[in-house]
Amino acid sequence: MLKKPIIYLISDSLGETAEKVIQASLSQFVNGQEYEIVRTPYVEDTTKLKQVLTNATRDKAIVGYTLVNPELRQYVKQKSVLLNLESIDIIGPMLEAMERIFEKKPRMKPGLAHQLDEAYFKRVEAIEFAVQYDDGRDPRGIEQADIILVGVSRTSKTPLSQYLALKSLKVANVPIVPEVDPPEELYRVDPSKCIGLKINPEKLNDIRRERLKALGLKENANYATHRRIEQELAFFECVVNKLACPVIDVSNKAVEETANLIMQIKMSQ
């Protein structure tokens, strides 16, 4: 009966790349219960490599490694010959080929792929956050948000939240309605996290009338009257004055333009 194979994975980062490649290859020969993987992450020097390779020799293991440092790769290669170890350089040949093609040296920074994964998941988390805390539906999000957008209806709070989420920013938005006091959480957070979105009353009237038309409702509904709009905007001014937060006039701005202004404000703080 064949001995259960042991595979040592050596990496200067987490070792996930090596593990996926090895598992894909092993699946052609054995199932998941018929081998053992020993992962050694964050290897930075030959002292650690020597210890791992010695252990691999003792266990008669296969060695797979992803090391961006060419000196460490060379050490494993030479040491494996001396120890009669079967070792596989998973990333080295690809790096060397790309160095020839691009005519430039690699960055020599371990874990860049993992950093990209982290950026992706952070962006997804921000998008989910924007959906969960849209339109003030859960005030608990105010304290967790990177940015809180404050404005009356139809000032692009939701599309702005989604756009900024693509930049990995967690955004909550709070609708301002005269009949409803803003949540207390809004006054407890750092006011620099809040951004007020103001709009010209005539522009808002046009937007709301078009919105009512799209919904098949009468254009003269209270929602789109000048009196109602002036009332809402006056209440908005009271709220943002109390918050003492930055305010952006979105009357003639695209979502991307407003988002860029918000990011500039955040970077300058």
What is the pTM for the complete model shown? Answer: 0.61
The structure tokens listed for 49 are 């490599």
Instruction: Indicate if 198 and 225 belong to the same structural domain.
Output: yes
Average pLDDT over residues 43-60: 93
Residue type, 86: E
Domain assignment of residue 240, yes or no: yes
Residues 169 and 45 grouped into a single domain: no
Tell me which amino acid residue 219 is: E
Q: What is the pLDDT averaged over residues 234-243?
A: 98
What's the whole-number mean pLDDT along residues 233-250? 98
Give me the chain's average pLDDT, please: 90
Instruction: Note whether 255 and 160 are same-domain residues.
Output: yes
Residue 27 annotated as part of some ligand binding site: no
Burial code of 145-175, b = ≥16 C-beta within 10 A, e = fewer?
A: bbbbbbbbbbbbbbebbbbbbebbbbbbbbb
Q: Work out the percent of the chain whose per-residue pLDDT is above 70.
A: 93
State the Cα–Cα distance between residues 226 and 187, nearest whole angstrom.
29
Which residues contact residue 224 at a Cβ distance below 8 angstroms, ignoring those fewer than 6 apart? Answer: 205, 208, 209, 211, 212
Instruction: Tell me the CATH number at 132.
Output: 3.40.50
131 is in an annotated binding site: no
* Residue 137 shares a structural domain with residue 93: no
Q: What is the C-alpha to C-alpha distance for residues 70 and 136, in angstroms, rounded to an integer? A: 53
Q: Provide the β-strand partners of residue 194.
A: 148
Looking at the fold, whether 60 and 42 belong to one and the same domain comes out as: yes
Residues 122 and 89 in one domain: no
User: Which of residues 110, 126, 141 is at a domain's end?
Assistant: 110
Choice between 95 and 9, residue whose per-residue pLDDT is larger:
9
| 77 lies in some domain | yes
157 occurs within a structural domain: yes
Q: Is pLDDT at 2 greater than 70 in this prediction? A: no
**141 labelled binding-site residue:** no
CB atoms within 10 A of CB 81: 10
Rounded to whole angstroms, the Cα distance separating 208 from 200 reads: 12
Q: How confident is the model at residue 13 (pLDDT cuts 50, 70, 90)?
A: confident
Across 260-266, average pLDDT: 94
Return the pLDDT at 1. Answer: 41
Q: Is 156 annotated as a binding residue?
A: yes
- Do residues 232 and 179 make contact, with C-beta atoms less than 8 angstroms apart? no
Check residue 32 and give its pLDDT: 59
Say yes or no: 188 and 252 in one domain.
Answer: yes
Of 110, 130, 163, which residue constitutes the final position of a domain? Answer: 110
- Domain contains 1: no
pLDDT > 90: what percent of the chain? 67
Q: What is the mean pLDDT of residues 247-253?
A: 97
Q: Which two tokens stand for residue 142?
A: 């105010």
d(CA 256, CA 226): 28
Distance from C-alpha of 87 to C-alpha of 24, rounded to nearest angstrom: 16
For residue 116, pLDDT over 70 is answered with no
48 annotated ligand-binding residue: no
From CA 133, how far away is CA 170, in angstroms rounded?
9
Tell me what pLDDT residue 14 has: 80
Within 10 angstroms of residue 32's Cβ, the number of other Cβ atoms is 9
| 104 and 122, same domain (yes or no) | no
pLDDT per residue as tens digits for the range 195-227: 999 999 999 999 999 999 998 988 889 999 999
**Rounded-to-integer distance, Cα 69 and Cα 252, Å:** 52
Q: Of 110, 137, 156, which one is at a domain's C-terminal end? A: 110
Please indicate, yes or no, if residue 82 is contained in any of the structural domains. Answer: yes
Count how many domains the chain has: 2
What pLDDT is attached to residue 114? 56
Q: Is the same domain home to 161 and 215?
A: yes
Q: What are φ and ψ of residue 180, in 5° steps?
A: -125, 125
pLDDT of amino acid 78? 95
Structural domain harbouring 50: 6-110
CA atoms within 13 A on the CB side of 164: 31
Query: Over the stretch 92-115, which tens digit does the pLDDT of each residue have?
Result: 888 888 888 888 777 766 655 555
| Burial zone of 70 (CB within 10 Å; 0-12 exposed, 13-18 middle, 19+ buried) | middle
Query: From CA 85, how far away is CA 66, in angstroms rounded?
Result: 16
Would 103 be classed as within a structural domain?
A: yes
User: pLDDT digit string (tens) for 146-202?
Assistant: 999 999 999 999 999 999 999 999 999 999 999 999 999 999 999 999 999 999 999
Encoded amino acid at 65, one letter: Y
Q: Is 153 annotated as a binding residue?
A: yes
User: Binding residue per annotation — 155?
Assistant: yes
> 117: pLDDT confidence band, cut at 50, 70 and 90?
low
The dihedrals phi and psi of 67, each to the nearest 5 degrees, come to: -130, 125
* Residue 217 shares a structural domain with residue 102: no
In a domain, residue 91? The reply is: yes
- Statement: residue 33 has pLDDT above 70: no
Question: Is there a single domain that holds both residue 147 and residue 203?
Answer: yes
What are the pLDDT digits (tens) for 73-93? 999 999 999 999 999 999 888
| 97 lies in the same domain as 121 | no
